[in-house]
C-alpha cells in the first residue's frame, strides 16, 4: 500500500500534513497544539488539560450541545487528550465528510471559554483528580515522575493538583489559550481518503484568519539528571506493592527506538523473560519493562507488582533477569517473534486512518517530520540481537539504578 504525503503552510504559520492512503473509505483529521503539562508554571498546573475540556464547551457559533450533536450528525469517532508535551483533538469520519469534520474541529480550536462552564468544568476536574487518587497505578506513575524529574515541569501531574485547579483564574485560561493555541504553534494532520488540495482550501477558510503568536513549542528547559538511591511512598489503603528500577535512557526520537521497543517486549511482554521466569513462578502478579520517553530525555523502568511481603523476592528476581540479559543477551528466535508482533501492529495501525493519524501526530511532535508506514516497518526489520546488545552497551542496566517502592509496606 503506497501512501502520499503532501504538506502546506498557511501564511499565519499553521503547518498542514496530509497523507493520502489508497484503498480506504474513511479519513481522520486532528489538530495538534504543541503545548502540555511541560509548559505550565507551578501556579498553573493542570491548565492544559483544563483548556482541553473547555474547547468542547462552546464557541462563538456553537453551544456545547450543538458541538455534541454535530459530531453525531457526522458519524464521527472523536476524542481529545492532553500529554506532557502536546494536546491533540481528532475526528474520524467517512472520507466525504472530512471537510465538515475539519470545520467543526477548527471551530473548537477557537472556543468562547464561557465563565459559567469554566466553573462547572473546574468541579469536573476536581472530581477527576479525586478519582485518580484512588488509582494505585496512577499514583505509582506520578510518584515515578516526581522522583525522576523533581521540580522540572515533566514531574507534575497532567491533571494538576487540587490546590492549583481550585485557584486557577478564568483569565489565566484565556491568556494561555491565546498564547499557546496560536497557529504557528499548532499542526493540522490528516490521513485517509482525502484530496489534499480540498483539505488545504478548507483549512485556509477555517483557520486562515487566526493570528500568529509568540509561542515556540514546548519548554526547552532540560530536565535534571536521574537521581540515585532509594525513594519510597507508603500507600496504606492498597494491598499491592510496586517496585521500580529506573535507569537513564534515550529520548523518544532516538535512532535506537525500535531496538528499545523490542527490548521492552522481550523483557516484559507476552512470552517474555519476566513472564516465564517471574510471573509464572508465582513471585509476583506482573513484571516487565517500560520506556518512558519525551522529546529530549527518557528513562527505562524495570518493574514488578505483587504482594507486599514478597518485596525481597520480587527485587531479586527483577535484578536477576537484568543480569542474565546483560550477560547473555537474547536469542535470535526471541527477537524474531517480537519483530513479527511489532510489524503486525504497525501494519494494522497504518491501515486504519485514526491510528495512522496517531502515528503521524507522534512523528510530528517527537521528530519534526513524518515517516511512511514502510519506513517504520524497515526500522523494525533492522532490529537484531546485535542492535539490542549495542543499545544495552550504550544505556546499560548495570549498577543499582534508582529504586522506587510504592505500597502499604514501608520497604526497604
Concatenated DSSP letters of 149-194: HTTSGGGS-TT--HHHHHH--HHHHHHHHHHHT-GGGEEEEEEES-
> Is residue 217 domain-resident?
no
Final residue of a domain: which of 207, 237, 257?
207
Distance CA 360, CA 369 (A): 8
Q: Phi/psi of residue 82, each to 5°?
A: -115, 135
- Are the beta carbons of 267 and 325 closer than 8 angstroms? yes
> Is residue 219 domain-resident?
no
Angle between helices 115-132 and 47-54 (to 10 degrees): 120
Q: Quick one: 37 and 185 in the same domain?
A: yes
Distance CA 233, CA 146 (A): 11
Q: Quick one: 254 and 395 in the same domain?
A: yes
- Three-state DSSP state, 308: helix
Classify residue 8 by its DSSP letter: E
The enclosing domain of 129 has a CATH number of: 3.30.830.10
> Is residue 223 domain-resident?
no
| Of the candidates 105, 93, 107, the residue with the CA atom closest to the CA atom of residue 62 | 107
Overall number of domains in the chain: 2
End-to-end CA distance of the chain: 54
Final residue of a domain: which of 207, 240, 258?
207
Distance CA 326, CA 166 (A): 48
Q: Quick one: 150 and 242 in the same domain?
A: no
Q: Quick one: 87 and 158 in the same domain?
A: yes
> Is residue 376 domain-resident?
yes
Q: Quick one: 98 and 233 in the same domain?
A: no
Distance CA 72, CA 261 (A): 37
Q: What is the pLDDT along the chain (412 residues), one digit of tens a residue?
A: 556 899 999 999 999 999 999 999 999 999 999 999 999 999 999 999 999 999 999 999 999 999 999 999 999 999 999 999 999 999 999 999 999 999 999 999 999 999 999 999 999 999 999 999 999 999 999 999 999 999 999 999 999 999 999 999 999 999 999 999 999 999 999 999 999 999 999 999 999 999 998 655 666 688 999 999 999 999 999 999 999 999 999 999 999 999 999 999 999 988 999 999 999 999 999 999 999 999 999 999 999 999 999 999 999 999 999 999 999 999 999 999 999 999 999 999 999 999 999 999 999 998 889 999 999 999 999 999 999 999 999 999 988 999 999 999 999 9
Final residue of a domain: which of 177, 207, 237?
207
> Is residue 128 domain-resident?
yes
Q: Quick one: 53 and 155 in the same domain?
A: yes
pTM for this prediction: 0.95
| Of the candidates 119, 124, 109, 96, the residue with the CA atom closest to the CA atom of residue 61 | 109
> Is residue 345 domain-resident?
yes
Contacts (Cβ under 8 Å, ≥6 apart) of 211? 12, 182, 183
Q: What angle do CA 379, 383, 385 make, to 5 degrees?
A: 175
Classify residue 37 by its DSSP letter: G
Q: Quick one: 135 and 242 in the same domain?
A: no
Q: Quick one: 370 and 261 in the same domain?
A: yes
Q: Quick one: 125 and 57 in the same domain?
A: yes
CB contact burial 131-169 (16+ within 10 A = b; e otherwise): ebeeebeebbbbbbbbbbbeebbbbbbbbbeeebbeebe
- Three-state DSSP state, 405: strand
Domain that holds residue 114: 4-207
Contacts (Cβ under 8 Å, ≥6 apart) of 71? 78, 91, 104
Q: What distances in angstroms separate CA 344 from CA 256, 351, 360, 369, one per listed residue? A: 20, 11, 18, 23
Q: Quick one: 247 and 378 in the same domain?
A: yes
Half-sphere exposure of 37 (CA within 13 A, CB side): 23
pLDDT (0 to 100) of residue 4:
84
> Is residue 27 domain-resident?
yes
Q: Quick one: 192 and 307 in the same domain?
A: no
> Is residue 335 domain-resident?
yes
Distance CA 257, CA 319 (A): 23
- Are the beta carbons of 155 and 145 closer than 8 angstroms? yes
Q: Quick one: 257 and 378 in the same domain?
A: yes
Amino acid at each position: 500500500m503506497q501512501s502520499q504525503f503532501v504538506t502546506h503552510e498557511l501564511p499565519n504559520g499553521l503547518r498542514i500534513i496530509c497523507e493520502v492512503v489508497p484503498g480506504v473509505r474513511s479519513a481522520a483529521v486532528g489538530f495538534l497544539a504543541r503545548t502540555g503539562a511541560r509548559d505550565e508554571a507551578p501556579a498553573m498546573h493542570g491548565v492544559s488539560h483544563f483548556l482541553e475540556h473547555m474547547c468542547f464547551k462552546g464557541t462563538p457559533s456553537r453551544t456545547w450541545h450543538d458541538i455534541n450533536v454535530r459530531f453525531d450528525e457526522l458519524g464521527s469517532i472523536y476524542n481529545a487528550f492532553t500529554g506532557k508535551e502536546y494536546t491533540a483533538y481528532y475526528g474520524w469520519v467517512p472520507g466525504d465528510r472530512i471537510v465538515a469534520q475539519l470545520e467543526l474541529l477548527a471551530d473548537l480550536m477557537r472556543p468562547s471559554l464561557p465563565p459559567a462552564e469554566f466553573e462547572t468544568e473546574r468541579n469536573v476536574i476536581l472530581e477527576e483528580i479525586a478519582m485518580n487518587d484512588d488509582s494505585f497505578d496512577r499514583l505509582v506513575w506520578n510518584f515515578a515522575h516526581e522522583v525522576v524529574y523533581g521540580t522540572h515541569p515533566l514531574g507534575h501531574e497532567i491533571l494538576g493538583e487540587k490546590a492549583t485547579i481550585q485557584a486557577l483564574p478564568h483569565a489565566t485560561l484565556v491568556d494561555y489559550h491565546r498564547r499557546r493555541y496560536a497557529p504557528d504553534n499548532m499542526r493540522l494532520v490528516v490521513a485517509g481518503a482525502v484530496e489534499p488540495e480540498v483539505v488545504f482550501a478548507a483549512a485556509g477558510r477555517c483557520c486562515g484568519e487566526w493570528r500568529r503568536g509568540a509561542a515556540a513549542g514546548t519548554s526547552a528547559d532540560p530536565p535534571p539528571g536521574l537521581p540515585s538511591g532509594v525513594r519510597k511512598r507508603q500507600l496504606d489503603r492498597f494491598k499491592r506493592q510496586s517496585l521500580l528500577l529506573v535507569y537513564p535512557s534515550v529520548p523518544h526520537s532516538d535512532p535506537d527506538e525500535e531496538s528499545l521497543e523490542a527490548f521492552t517486549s522481550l523483557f516484559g511482554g507476552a512470552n517474555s523473560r519476566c513472564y516465564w521466569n517471574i510471573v509464572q513462578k508465582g513471585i509476583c502478579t506482573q513484571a516487565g519493562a517500560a520506556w518512558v520517553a519525551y522529546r529530549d530525555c527518557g528513562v527505562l523502568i524495570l518493574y514488578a507488582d505483587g504482594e507486599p511481603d514478597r518485596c525481597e523476592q520480587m527485587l531479586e528476581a527483577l535484578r536477576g533477569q537484568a543480569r542474565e540479559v546483560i550477560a547473555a543477551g537474547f536469542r535470535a528466535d526471541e527477537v524474531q517473534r517480537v519483530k513479527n508482533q511489532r510489524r503486525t501492529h504497525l501494519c494494522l495501525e497504518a491501515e486504519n486512518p485514526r491510528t495512522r493519524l496517531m502515528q503521524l501526530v507522534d512523528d510530528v511532535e517527537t521528530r519534526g517530520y513524518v515517516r511512511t508506514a514502510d519506513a517504520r516497518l524497515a526500522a523494525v526489520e533492522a532490529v537484531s540481537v546485535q542492535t539490542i546488545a549495542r543499545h544495552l552497551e550504550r544505556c546499560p542496566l548495570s549498577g543499582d539504578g534508582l529504586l522506587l517502592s510504592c505500597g502499604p509496606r514501608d520497604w526497604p
